[in-house]
Amino acid sequence: MGFKVVNKYLQDSNRTFVAIRQEAPYTAFDRILIGDRVNESDEVLIEAVLGQVATELNPAEGVKKLQEDLHTQAQEYETKLAEKDAKIAEVKAVADWAVLVRVTDVDNPLDPTLFKRGLELVDLGQTGKAYQPQEIFAIENPGHVEKFQEGKRVMVQVNEAFTYQGQTLEELASLEQNGKLGIWKWEPPKAPKESNELETKPVAR
């Protein structure tokens, strides 16, 4: 018969008392574990108590076990961190796609303040970063004078693999002419064309 947890309770916010017993041969261990662990399973608590006892009886083995546990925890942390980064990248890709669709919809131009807010969500170009087709980044246009709160950023749309080397807006213009990039600035809506034709109405008969 193995060990059983016969008592456990939280002493304070950072210590948990755990008592385990084994009937044959009768063995009793009472230990205080660091942290609030009352909601952990009995199996985990038993392992933690026995690990602490082993450390006390054989410090060298205890250190080895601690190192193994820390290594396992580090691997689990790296895995969770990678999963979190992947989810962030997915959300960022969706946000960039939404900005790309709206900014390039010239038939339905954005309100200037919305344009500014949208481009604030887009990362500024990173020197040395390789961008793939359809990726976007923003750059500042310091010489631009705002008239409608449209901001000073412009959006760069990559049409083919491109490594940004810190070029200014003027330097990127030649690449736009070659079709390698698309540069999108906020433009005031075009005024509707005035018709010179006289309005005609059908004559009632």
In a domain, 91, yes or no: no
Same domain flag for 103 and 175: yes
Same domain flag for 106 and 175: yes
Task: Tell me if the pTM is above 0.95.
Answer: no
Q: Domain of residue 177: give its range.
A: 98-184
In a domain, 202, yes or no: no
DSSP for the chain, please give it: ---EEEEEEEEETTEEEEEEEETTTTEEEEEEEES--TTS-HHHHHHHHHHHHHHHH-HHHHHHHHHHHHHHHHHHHHHHHHHHHHHHHHHHHHHHHHHHHHHT-TTSPPPHHHHHHHHHTSPBPPTTPEEPTT-EEEEE-TTPPPSSS--SEEEEEESS-EE-----HHHHHHHHHTTSEEEE---PPPPPPPP-SPP--PPP-
Q: What is the pLDDT of residues 6-47, one digit of tens each?
A: 999 998 778 999 999 999 889 999 999 988 899 999 999 999
In a domain, 35, yes or no: yes
Q: What is the pLDDT of residues 73-127, one digit of tens each?
A: 788 888 888 888 888 888 888 888 889 898 888 888 889 999 999 999 899 999 9
Q: Give how many domains the chain has, as a whole number.
A: 2
